[in-house]
Amino acid sequence: KEKVKKKPEKIEVPAEGSAEMIEKKYEEVMKAEEKEAVSEPASPEVPAEKKRSTVLIVIGVLIFLFVVIAVVGFYYLYYLPSQVVFSDEFETLDSRVWGMLRKGDNLLVKAQGGELVVRNGAVYLKRDVGNDYIIECGVNVIGVSDKNGWGGIIFRMGTSGSYILQLAPDLDRIVLRRHPGYLIVRKDIKLEKGRWYLVAVKAEGENLACFINHKQIIGIKDIGLAKGGVGLESGNATVLFRDFVIK
């Protein structure tokens, strides 16, 4: 007998765009999205308490900075003299502004080329500049008649005495005295004759500070002299002064 060949069964494929095809594609898309959601976990949410803590820290830092700026600004505005109240570039020596305080042997006091030359003498400022101030001046000890020769700044000068900051280059020393004859402090520091130094003195209440080239060398408290004027002096030396400023 001849075998009868069986025809293969026809598999029906849903037509493109049919409802079955659309439903099948929708199921595939949904499965793919579920798979992606599982593989990419959501980032953990920051606890509310931690957020509040961070905000408080930031606020605290801002308040601290505000307080610091306010305090520093208040100090500079009310306690630190900063406004220039007098200055002299020594183009001439005006006798209405400066007076002779002390005359030593071989005295020389004159202004020339923006410098005040003082040898064995002292001059004082006739103007009232208050009691608390900063004095700045260029000082150059160009020659000494003995190793103790010095040049310096007088401040808080009155009938009961004065303070004197002295630069003695041959001794490599600066000295703060309360005149007459009272040594307050002495500091050894390398100094050279013929070299300019920016010297500054700050008198604020009982606080006294002395600076050389912007570096503080002396800082003390002294209740001896609370007020007085200012001046420039040399002892056993020829000294140049320039750019005199009081703030």
pLDDT digit string, tens, across residues 61-71 = 888 887 777 65
- Tokens 């080329």 appear where? 113
The answer on pLDDT for 218 being more than 70 is: yes
pLDDT for the residue numbered 52:
76
CA distance 132 to 203: 5
Taken as a whole, the chain contains a residue count of 247
The residue ranges of every structural domain in the chain are 19-78, 86-246
pLDDT digit string, tens, across residues 123-164 = 999 999 999 999 999 999 999 999 999 999 999 999 889 999
Taking the whole predicted model, whether its pTM rises above 0.75 is answered as no
What are the two backbone dihedrals, phi and then psi, of residue 26, each rounded to the nearest 5 degrees?
-65, -40
Asked if 121 and 150 count as a contact pair (C-beta separation under 8 A), the reply is no
CA distance 234 to 141: 9
pLDDT confidence tier of residue 237, bands split at 50, 70 and 90: very high
More confident site: 184 or 41: 184
Beta bridge partners of residue 133, listed in sequence order = 203
DSSP letter string, 64-85: HHHHHHHHHHHHHHHTS--S--
First and final C-alpha spacing in the chain: 133
Class of domain 86-246: mainly beta
CA distance 173 to 167: 6
Task: Quote the percentage of the chain above a pLDDT of 90.
Answer: 59
pLDDT for the residue numbered 37:
54
pLDDT confidence tier of residue 79, bands split at 50, 70 and 90: very low
